[in-house]
């Protein structure tokens, strides 16, 4: 019996309409073996791909070693555990539920249908004060960035004492230095991308590193690391930067690491490697107790000096901070009197300059100013200094932003630390304390997401339908201010940044005279 042509046409059209577009890359041969991911609505995700050997046993406190090959096809459909960390701190960030010393895995999202597409690659580095962090937060799911045409990679790196403990024994072992294993993990992940990302439709020669907080600081460290040279072509730092003076010399960090292990009953590295990961981790509390060490190899020198000397990885950068970063860290009321005392004790040589730009007539003003001091010290000044030096000493484009979008009740006084993340990843619909997926917020997310992807693609965030984002230079200092009237203009805290710049300039001059 003949099937009527019209019926055939209707069935064919129905099949075209109802069958979702499928990414054809569901398996890939990578360093170590073959991996198989999941495909959902045109986006393939691969979760838990090993990029190095497990850093356990004798490999604890060593630079990442080559991945151990596997046989057959490895199902990469679930996130691997996060790194060992203070669980209380992790819970404050929304998790993680699973942690392990065996943590060197990465994740890939791609919409490519074949390996030769050469899509731009975005390489995400999480924050967490170098003491916590993970990639399985729904807010950093890579699906929607991949839907906009990039290949998204997120990497797990060691944190806390397992990532950043320095010790004389470890320095002797390596013959170079110690205390920078987490940054070395990031570099190993970038090398994996260089060797493997083409199989996911990515361009290994168009990689943008981006991260927030400690992740943004990591981006700043990679920007000055000779070990990372050529592994990325663009950099985005959200609430990061790395221009502050080093926290400690290698020798100081070694002594701190030695004292830490002795508290645990380990008088040498052999005894420390015999301890469980939980025992190593148990005495860490709070953010920033362990920090990447200027080991002389991975991090060779202070970043400010390297930029002044022109010895940095000169790539386009997009960097910025949020308006109310300090609210997360300064939660108590600060009295006007206490604020003045703090300023005079902390900045004795130019206290009046600080008091002139930070309002403090009332306790309410003093509290806001204390938060802003935190914003400038930890995030805004390092970012501002980076932008100025990069524009003066480098040849690449520099773009700066100031995120002041107040899209929730929690951000009514300004954009808090981490607020921009779900806007960048376009994950506002993720369940949370309040609904963020409003029309106004979605429009802001569309804007940020587009700028970030445009920058990753070409090194310039500008594109059709977007407000013009003026390039930064140290004279005009025009930044993109994200608020109800988003556009390029002077950042609101510029006067405060100039006072901090004078303060740090004085510190650098004093340090030179003491050498």
Which residues are the active-site residues?
A: 213, 325, 417
Q: Answer whether 299's CB lies under 8 Å from 183's CB.
A: yes
If we measure between CA atoms, which residue out of 151, 30, 131 comes closest to residue 88? 131
DSSP 302-341: -HHHHHHHT-S----EEEEEETBGGGGT--S---HHHHHH
Q: Answer whether 488's CB lies under 8 Å from 470's CB.
A: yes
In angstroms, the CA 210 to CA 43 distance is 21
For residue 66, how many C-alpha atoms fall within 13 Å in the half-sphere facing its CB?
Answer: 8
Q: Answer whether 336's CB lies under 8 Å from 363's CB.
A: yes
Which residues does 49 contact at the CB level (< 8 Å), separation at least 6? 30, 35, 74, 76, 105, 106, 107, 108
For residue 447, how many C-alpha atoms fall within 13 Å in the half-sphere facing its CB?
Answer: 23
- In DSSP terms, 320 is beta-bridged to 238, 401
In angstroms, the CA 275 to CA 260 distance is 13
Q: Answer whether 127's CB lies under 8 Å from 418's CB.
A: yes
Task: Tell me the two tokens of residue 97.
Answer: 């539920």
């Amino acid at each position: 019996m003949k099937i009527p042509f019209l019926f055939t046409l209707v069935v064919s059209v129905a099949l075209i309409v109802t069958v979702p577009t499928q990414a054809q890359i569901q398996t890939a041969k990578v360093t170590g073996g073959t991996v198989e991911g999941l495909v959902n609505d045109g986006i393939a995700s691969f979760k838990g791909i090993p990029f190095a050997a497990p850093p356990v046993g004798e490999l604890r406190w060593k630079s990442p070693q080559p991945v151990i090959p596997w046989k057959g096809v490895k199902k990469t459909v679930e996130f691997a555990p996060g790194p060992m960390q203070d669980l209380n701190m992790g819970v404050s960030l929304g998790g993680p539920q699973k942690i392990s010393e065996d943590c060197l895995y990465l994740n890939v999202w791609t919409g490519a249908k074949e390996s030769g597409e050469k899509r731009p690659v975005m390489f995400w580095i999480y924050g967490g004060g170098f003491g916590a962090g993970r990639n399985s937060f729904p807010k950093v799911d890579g699906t929607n960035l991949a839907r906009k045409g990039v290949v998204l990679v997120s990497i797990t790196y060691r944190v806390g004492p397992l990532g950043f403990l320095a010790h004389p024994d470890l320095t002797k072992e390596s013959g170079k230095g110690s205390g920078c294993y987490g940054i070395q993990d990031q570099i190993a992940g970038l090398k994996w991308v260089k060797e493997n990302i083409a199989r996911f439709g990515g361009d290994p020669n168009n990689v943008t590193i981006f991260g927030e907080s400690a992740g943004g600081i990591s981006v700043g460290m990679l920007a000055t690391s000779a070990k990372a040279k050529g592994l990325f072509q663009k950099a985005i730092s959200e609430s990061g930067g790395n221009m502050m003076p080093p926290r400690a010399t290698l020798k100081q960090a070694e002594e701190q690491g030695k004292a830490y292990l002795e508290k645990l009953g380990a008088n040498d590295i052999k005894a420390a490697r015999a301890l469980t990961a939980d025992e190593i981790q148990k005495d860490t509390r709070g953010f920033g107790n362990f920090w990447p060490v200027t080991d002389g190899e991975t991090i060779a020198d202070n970043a400010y000096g390297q930029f002044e000397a022109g010895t940095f990885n000169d790539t386009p950068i997009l960097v910025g901070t949020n308006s109310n970063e300090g609210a997360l860290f300064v939660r108590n009321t600060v009295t006007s009197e206490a604020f003045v005392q703090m300023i005079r004790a902390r900045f004795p040589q130019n206290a009046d300059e600080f008091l002139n730009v930070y309002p403090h007539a009332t306790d309410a003003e003093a509290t806001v100013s204390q938060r802003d001091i935190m914003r400038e010290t930890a995030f805004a000044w390092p970012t501002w200094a980076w932008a100025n030096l990069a524009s003066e000493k480098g040849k690449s484009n520099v773009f700066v932003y100031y995120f002041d979008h107040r899209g929730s009740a929690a951000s009514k006084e300004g954009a808090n630390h981490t607020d921009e993340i779900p806007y960048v990843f376009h994950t506002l619909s993720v369940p949370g304390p309040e609904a963020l997926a409003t029309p106004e917020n979605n429009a802001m997310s569309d804007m940020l997401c587009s700028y970030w992807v445009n920058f990753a693609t070409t090194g310039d965030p500008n594109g059709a339908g977007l407000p013009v984002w003026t390039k930064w230079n140290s004279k005009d200092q025009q930044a993109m201010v994200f608020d109800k009237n988003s556009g390029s203009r002077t950042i609101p805290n510029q006067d405060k940044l100039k006072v901090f710049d004078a303060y740090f300039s004085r510190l650098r001059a004093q340090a030179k005279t003491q050498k």
